[in-house]
Structure formats: structure tokens, C-alpha cells
Amino acid sequence: MRVGIGFDSHRFVEGRPLVLGGVVIPHDRGLDGHSDADVLTHAIVDALLGALAFGDIGTHFPDTDPRWRGTDSRVFLREATRLVRDHGHEIANVDATVITESPRLAPFVARMRAALADTMGVDAATVSVKATTAERLGAFGRGEGMAALAVAALEEIDTE
């Protein structure tokens, strides 16, 4: 069993869609970034890469590479999942928390879990997504951006 942790944050900006876990969430602002800035997916990618001790999302998909401009972050998640399986592991479970004052994410949790599970090729029961606020504390509490934390556990595939 191997375990990895991931953390990511992005600033809110006007004029971009808000994408979380591969799901477009209706909101007046989106997240700024080189790719689609899907903070939840990025945290999960980092957790998977961390569990393999394979560096982080910036190592594999540098934001200086024009290939990744505006990229659907599910591409990164699919690649991280491929690395997990290529190195003899399967995803045991993923648990993630999104930290934001708004919008309210509860109505979208089931869709985000389903979309993430689909991208990773696992059952929705393998993926947990939770949402919390920062209780109006600090930059996230002022609604300047959004953060996400994720933990991933990998089990070794029995190759006998």
C-alpha cells in the first residue's frame, strides 16, 4: 500500500468557466491558470503522483509548455492513472476536500465523483469529494480563490 497527498490552489478571475473534477459549475467567476485550472483534479493528480514518488503535476505537465494551455485537466488525471497501473498499482481510494466560500458545491458532489471515477476508470465508491468553507479566514475566506486537498491510496496489483 502506498499513500500520496496533493494540494493545489488557484485564483478566481472573471471571464473563465469554473471547472471542478471535470464538471463545469455555474458561477460568476472561474479559476485562473495555464490549463483549465481544475483545482480539484490537480490535487488528485498530485496525490497519485505523490503515492508513486514520481514528482508532481508541474514535473509532468509544466505550465511553460504551450501543449497544456487551456488543457482539459482530465488529460493529466488519465496520464497519472496510467502511470499508477503501469507501475503495478491500482487506485484503492481517493479522498478530496475543496475549500471555497462560494459557490455551494454540495449539489455537484455526485457529478464530480462520477466524472472523476470515470476518468480514473474506477467505481464512484472509490472517490470521495467533500466541500468546506474557510470560515471567512484569509485569502480563501475572502473569496480570492479556491484550494483543494487530496489523498490517494494505491494497492499493489497481484500479478501471480
* Residue 81 · residue 48 · CB < 8 Å: yes
| Rounded-to-integer distance, Cα 118 and Cα 138, Å | 34
Helix (H, G, I), strand (E, B) or coil at 24: strand
Q: Is 74 in the site for Zn ion (CB under 5 A)?
A: no
CB 145 within 8 A of CB 11: yes
Among 42, 74, 89, 113, binds Zn ion (CB under 5 A): 42
Q: Which is nearer to Zn ion, 41 or 89 (by Cβ)?
A: 41
**Residue 59 CB neighbours (<10 A):** 9
Number of residues near Zn ion (by CB under 5 A):
2
User: Which DSSP string corresponds to 66-115?
Assistant: GGGTT--THHHHHHHHHHHHHTTEEEEEEEEEEE-SSS--GGGHHHHHHH
Q: Does 36 bind Zn ion (CB under 5 A)?
A: no
Residue with Cβ nearer Zn ion (37 or 91): 37
Shortest distance, position 63 Cβ to Zn ion, whole Å: 9
Residue nearest to Zn ion (CB): 42
Residue 58: its H or E element: helix 57-60
Min. distance of Cβ 8 from Zn ion in angstroms? Answer: 4
**Which part of the chain contacts Zn ion (CB under 5 A), choosing from 20-28, 39-47, 63-71, 84-92?**
39-47
- Cell output for 52: 508513486
Beta carbon nearer to Zn ion, 127 or 150: 150
Of residues 63 and 156, the one with the C-beta less far from Zn ion: 63
Is the Cβ of residue 8 or residue 50 nearer to Zn ion in the bound state?
Answer: 8
8 binds Zn ion (CB under 5 A): yes
Site residues, Zn ion (CB under 5 A) = 8, 42
